[in-house]
Amino acid sequence: MPFIPHTADDIAAMLATIGVASIDDLFDEIPTELKIGELAAIPTGMAEMDIARLMQSRARADGQPVCFIGAGAYDHHIPAAVWQIATRGEFYSAYTPYQAEASQGTLQVLYEFQSMMIALTGLDVSNASLYDGASALAEAVLMAVRANRKTRSIRVLVPRTLHPAYRRTVHAIVAAQGIELIEVPFDHQGGHTPVEQMDAIAGTDDFAAVIINQPNFFGVLEDVDALTDWAHARHALVIAVVNPIALALLSPPGDWGTVGADIACGEAQPLGMPLSSGGPYAGFLCCKQEYVRQLPGRIAGQTLDLDDKPGFTLTLQAREQHIRRGKATSNICTNQGLLVTAATIHMALLGAEGLERVAAACYANTRRLTAMLCEIPGVEPVFERPIFHEQALCLPAPTADLLRTLAADAVLGGFDLSQDYPELGQALLICVTELRTENEMRDYADKLARILATQT
């Protein structure tokens, strides 16, 4: 019996100890009419060698095309040590560290992760993760509405330059609580959100929070200082949505404007998590000290033991559902602990200089491919403002068709912007990480040129 150690002797002895004749007798409190027979639609069991063969053939079936898609998930180098250590049984098969004395390994990792995230974001405290970047933003919105006692507003300004899937996720999670999400249009030349657009949309209304993403979904860099000061002048909290790799280069949310953003969140996937079709990743959420009691999710803290020796434990648990039930800051229980373990090891291995080198390589590669693609007639950047590692391009033919043809030739050419942003026409968002080589970029440019040439 797979994964069940009982021998016939064990079963007989155990039934005798309980005082029943058969295992079926142990289910005698369940109404008979509810019991089912065989689950006919489930296939019969497989040996490990057979399921291995099946999974290997399926993994191969997905191919390994060369990827120029970013749009919220990024193909970065992951040091071999990261997952070899993270999948050690002691990390992999441990539970949530509620019994602190038996979980010092996991708890110290969480504390180190929190320390690294506040170093990157420039804020005061970090939690120990949420499900992903988009759900972390939804929690940040709920947190800001609870925390903003000055405006007591339930309105939140959301730039249209924010990732479309993030906007949809936030809406799905916060709408039932009556929170109003108000979209701010972007400047079509710059691809950014100017302060004048904020003024035009905001009028004289009050807001609980303003979301600012840096870089934005188009890869474009926003004027974060001006936007932050604009929000604070109206007593709205600032929620920063940031890419942790970009933070190696860019001004951290804690330094934005005169007094800094109040909350920062984002997707930790670029810190050592494989693309893996979209998950598991991890969301991070940091804030200023004054909002720590509104921060959702688990938080590790340092304390002392009976011998005054330092140790780690989950703390401020009175915010959480297992203590506070219906009055908790969130319903979250299970988070993304193992991914946090990977991210912590990843950040230790890369360090600040390593992350900066990764960011700089992505920066340079994206400009390199942009230059190659813009040699093709009809291909040009959509926006004028500086970018980080993603670039929106106008195309002379329908984006979806081009991407399909490229994919058939093992190139994933980018993200089709025309669905979510029809106002941009035939537009494409490319991303070139440090993993892409000169040859891969040249190959992409040649293939796109050839496809466009045959179409005209």
- For other proteins, the binding residues in 158-177 under the rule CB under 8 A are 163, 165-166, 168-169, 171-173, 176-177
Task: Tokens for 46, please give them.
Answer: 């497989």
- Tell me how far apart the alpha carbons of residues 285 and 299 are, in angstroms, rounded to a whole number: 11
Among 323, 425, 442, 453, binds other proteins (CB under 8 A): 323
Q: Report the C-alpha gap between 120 and 168 in whole angstroms.
A: 27
Rounded distance between C-alpha atoms, residue 124 and residue 114, angstroms: 10
Q: Which is nearer to other proteins, 99 or 439 (CB)?
A: 99
Range in contact with other proteins (rule: CB under 8 A) among 75-83, 151-159, 185-193, 375-383 = 75-83
Residue window 87-116: x/- pattern of binding to other proteins, with contact defined by CB under 8 A? xxxxxxxxxxx-xxxxxxxx-xx-xx-xxx
What sign does the dihedral 13-19-20-25 (CA atoms) show? Answer: negative
Q: Smaller CB distance to other proteins: residue 19 or 422?
A: 19
Shortest spacing between CB 218 and other proteins, in angstroms:
15
Binding to other proteins in span 268-297, by CB under 8 A:
274-282, 292
Near other proteins in 343-402, by CB under 8 A: 344-345, 347-358, 360-361, 363-364, 386, 388
Q: With H, G, I as helix, E, B as strand and everything else as coil, classify residue 242.
A: strand
CB of 129: closest distance to other proteins in angstroms? 7
Residues 397-404: contacts with CB within 8 Å, 24+ apart? 397/426, 397/452, 397/455, 398/426, 399/426, 399/427, 399/428, 402/428, 402/448, 402/451, 402/452, 403/428
* 125 is an interface residue for other proteins by CB under 8 A: yes
Selected from 21, 149, 258, 306, the binder of other proteins by CB under 8 A is 306
Q: In three state form, how does the secondary structure of 423-444 look?
A: HHCCEEEEECCCCCCHHHHHHH
Interface residue with other proteins, options 5, 8, 21, 203 (CB under 8 A):
5
Kindly list the distances between the CA atom of residue 12 and the CA atoms of 2, 8, 187, in Å, as whole numbers in the listed order.
19, 6, 75
Nearest C-alpha neighbor of 240 from the set 284, 207, 181, 199? 284
Could you say which of 195, 233, 318, 453 contacts other proteins (CB under 8 A)?
318
- Cβ distance to other proteins smaller for residue 65 or 396: 65
Nearest distance from C-beta of residue 155 to other proteins, angstroms: 17
Applying CB under 8 A, does 21 fall inside the site for other proteins? no
Q: Is 8 a binder of other proteins (CB under 8 A)?
A: no
